[in-house]
Amino acid sequence: MKIQLIYIGRDKKNIYSDVEKTFISRIKHYASFKIIDLNPPSYSKSLSTDEIRKKEAKLITPYLEKNTINILLDEIGKNFTSVQFSEFLNSKMNQSKDINLIIGGAYGFSNETRSKAHALLALSKMTMPHHLARVVLLEQVYRAFTILKNEKYHNS
């Protein structure tokens, strides 16, 4: 079983890269973990948000394999406490399938991509930059593992 964080976006001026690397290193003590960054397609100002989402869906779709649990980070997704998220993640890992955590582009996901998701997850009701969302997600994945292993990191 492996966990992949897949996202659409450019990494120009990522002020959080050191923090990301720290949490990725920590997560790898518990599971096989990989990041896949997808460069956004070229956009023209004449494209609608739906057209942009459809272009991005073409980039994401190859990673939505049948034997993979696809969890989209989406503003309409379910909110969890850290303990609830650890239980959710554990239930998905117990299915013995690979897990994709997917962050879409600035306009979210197409209906086609959402229809292939097994779950929608919201990190917050607030909007945040993609780089920050990745850090929050990585920290919560790490925290989930420490909760599941009963290790000192999360204070209940």
Question: Region 115-119: what's the mean pLDDT?
Answer: 93
The larger pLDDT score, comparing residue 12 to residue 143, is at 143
The residue with greater pLDDT, 23 or 130, is 23
pLDDT on residue 38 = 93
Report the pLDDT value the prediction gives residue 100, as an integer from 0 to 100. 97
> What pLDDT shows up at residue 130?
85
Res. 18: pLDDT tops 80: yes
Task: Label residue 62 by pLDDT band (50, 70, 90).
Answer: very high
Residue 155 lies in a domain: no
Measure Cα distances from 63 to 30, 74, 138 in Å.
22, 17, 19
Q: Does residue 12 sit within a domain?
A: yes
Structural domain contains residue 13: yes
Count up the domains in the chain and report the number: 1
Tell me the average pLDDT across 95-116: 92
Q: Which domain holds residue 27?
A: 2-148
Residue 89 maps to a domain: yes
Has residue 153 been placed in a domain? no
Cα separation, 85 vs 121, whole angstroms: 9
The model's pTM is 0.93
Sheet holding 68-78, edge to edge: 32-38, 2-8, 98-103, 68-78, 119-121
Which CATH number fits the domain that encloses residue 38?
3.40.1280.10
Residue 84 lies in a domain: yes
Buried b (16+ CB within 10 A) or exposed e, 104-121: bbeebbbeebbebbeeeb
Please tell me the predicted confidence (pLDDT) of residue 97.
92
154 domain-assigned: no
* Residue 105 counted as domain residue: yes
